[in-house]
Structure 1
């Protein structure tokens, strides 16, 4: 990994963690609007962003209120989401690929984080899935995709890694 990639990975991790922790009342719990999840769409452009997103989530969960459960399950959900977002444009080659990609974090977080909340905090699984899924859908699909398209339309090379 070259210096440019390491720096961008660190920046993505820092932004994700700072947004999550800075907006902690919205970021944690069964009903969460983790605005940092908008960044998950970076993986749509380049697989190198998967590492930064996962590290950022790990840092946020290390400092969050749910301890080991969230560190393991929440970070895993982000890793799975970022990977699925990244493979989507390879599988779907049309203008709707970004919209489909935005649904992977909704599903992954609803199931994985919903299961975590059910197992560790004895909250109803289906209710947790619904609450986490709605929050993730609002952030990633409703806010994230239009924002992502706006940034890419104005600054098409902004999100790409350069080879050193």
Structure 2
């Protein structure tokens, strides 16, 4: 077996490790349970979805992204807006996770979920018949409060703990 092939096999093995699959499932489950536990607050034109703080995990390790997206999708199945929220809410989370992963700093990463509310608000507006701009403002303010005002300081403090950061890394080399 040549070195190039064995290196490729190692990368593929690491990318889809049992740990990565387990962390994806656990992340999706925790996000869903945290959303449903306070369900009235996590849906609608005025919302505080505290589970959204978890999206900052994608800044620590992009491997959390799939679990976060799945958690959002599953949570939105229970939305009063219905299937529209599944589609638009999940698209919003995809936009936020991509932005977070590409961000250079934690503060910038914390703003992506608020930016992605442009997509989420469109779905809420379509599904509920509420006007788009006021819906955008209220949903974005809720997201900013949860992720940037609460989540950012929490993650900033957590990221100072190198031992914890090592534990949170999904794919260990």
Which TM-score applies when normalising by structure 2?
0.86
Q: 125, 128, 141: which one pairs with 2:135?
A: 128
When structure 1 is superposed on structure 2, of 138-147 and 148-157 the one drifting more is: 148-157
Q: CA deviation at 1:163?
A: 3.3
1:102 maps to 110
Q: 122, 135, 139: which one pairs with 1:115?
A: 122
Q: For the residues of structure 2 that align with 1:53 and 1:75, how far apart are their CA atoms?
A: 9
Q: Which stretches in structure 1 are left out of the alignment for 5+ residues?
A: 90-96
Secondary structure of 1:66's partner?
Answer: coil
The count of aligned residue pairs is 156
Q: Is the 8 A contact 2:69 2:90 kept in 1?
A: yes
Q: Is the 8 A contact 2:53 2:147 kept in 1?
A: yes
Q: 40, 45, 57: which one pairs with 1:30?
A: 45
Q: CA deviation at 1:119?
A: 2.1
Which TM-score applies when normalising by structure 1?
0.90
2:166 maps to 157
Q: For the residues of structure 2 that align with 1:26 and 1:118, how far apart are their CA atoms?
A: 17
Q: For the residues of structure 1 that align with 2:30 and 2:62, how far apart are their CA atoms?
A: 17
Secondary structure of 2:145's partner?
Answer: helix
Deviations 1:61-115 (A, max 9, x none): 11232211001000110111011100112xxxxxxx1111111110112x11211
Q: Is the 8 A contact 2:19 2:171 kept in 1?
A: yes
Return structure 1 stretches of 4+ with deviation > 3 angstroms: none
2:92 maps to 77
Q: CA deviation at 1:9?
A: 0.8
